[in-house]
A = this chain, B = another copy of it.
Amino acid sequence: MESTRTRIRRATINDVASAAGLSRGTVSRVVNGERYVSEDAKLAVEEAILRVGYVRNSVARNLVRQESGAIGLIIHEPHSLLFEDPNIGSILLGANAVLSAADYQLVSLIIDSERDSRRVADYLQGGLVDGAVIVSARASDPIALAVKNLGVPAAFVGHPPGIPDIPYVAIDNAAAAEAITARLLGTGRTRVAMIACALDRDSGQDRLAGFKAAMGDLFDPGLVVEYPLYTYGFGLEGMQELLRRRPDLDGVFAASDAVAAGAMTALQESGRQVPEDVGIVGFDDSSWALRCRPQLSTVRQPADLLGKRAAELVLAQIRGLPSPAEVLETSVMWRGSA
């Protein structure tokens, strides 16, 4: 027998044309709202479209036009979507706002395995998108290579080292970390620890570097613990470990708000008062910050703006305009936790 797949054949532009007693070209003009089609013809085509149930095949259209009207947004760290990191959501929404206004479709592609990585690279290279925003890339990312390879218009959110040429939009993690650590030291603390995370990413490295810079002579490697992800759980664990090592510490810089929230819980469970006994500061100014008691002093980073600007960089490239890298401003939000 035949295949079991007997999907009903879709109506094409030709079906509409013969139903309306007109030609392909005229139907195409009506569908695309072009000039030079008579009122009679327009009505006849519209009636025929309804009658045969026509909807345009975008694949064929994209093939001849050599563009897709879609921009990919690649998320390399889907697990952070889940629990701790509200930044990705804001970036997504920011990018969507810009692209939607320019009538582009944002398509998000997540990479959760080696297999995904290859498939997404194919997707990007295959002409299915006109450009890409790449979030939380790692150094030597196969995606970055694929993008470079074919010259797909792209922009990074964040600034992975080792990939030149592709524009990015980022914040100065090191400077911001230095600023908030300095502010914490300004409250008179001298034994300040750090819970460092995600050292495989530029953001993690830079926040640690900024901390060291601010600490200067006070820096003590024994007061730094390292964890792979920016999570509440590692914040809790990290704080417990630090308290074991140095029960007399009087300040902590947590690499993100989620980490800070975990650390605060550990501190309070150990019977210490925040900020009286130990001052604590975070990073991101995410919804975590206002949720802590006391509320968290932290670095505000404009996550939605990161998404917006990255999208704008991609659109600029598509339009042949200059697309310079950009570093956005951060600020210290000083609240009750230190």
Contacts and interface: CB of A to CB of B under 8 A. Distances in A.
B93 A82 contact: yes
A35 interface: no
Interface string A86-120: 10011011001100100101111110110110011
A60 B57 contact: no
A107 B72 CA distance: 9
A52 interface: no
A116 B89 contact: no
Nearest to A320: B4
Contacts of A86: 82-83
Interface stretch (A125-133, A198-206, A240-248, A328-336): A125-133
> What copy number does this chain have within its complex?
2
A43 interface: no
A5 B320 contact: yes
B78 A105 contact: no
A103 B126 contact: no
B126 A100 contact: no
A121 to B, nearest CB: 10
Contact of A78 (B60, B93, B269, B320): B93
A1 interface: no
Interface string A52-71: 01011111111100001010
A10 interface: yes
Interface in A1-44: 4-5, 7-8, 10
A206 to B, nearest CB: 24
Interface in A236-288: 261, 265, 269, 287
A151 interface: yes
Given A58-B126, A59-B62, A59-B126, A112 B97 contact: yes
B115 A100 contact: yes
Q: Top 3 A-B pairs ranked by shortest CB distance? A: A58-B126, A82-B89, A108-B108
Interface of A: 4-5, 7-8, 10, 53, 55-63, 68, 70, 78-79, 81-84, 86, 89-90, 92-93, 96-97, 100, 103, 105-110, 112-113, 115-116, 119-120, 122-123, 125-128, 149-151, 232, 261, 265, 269, 287, 291, 293, 320
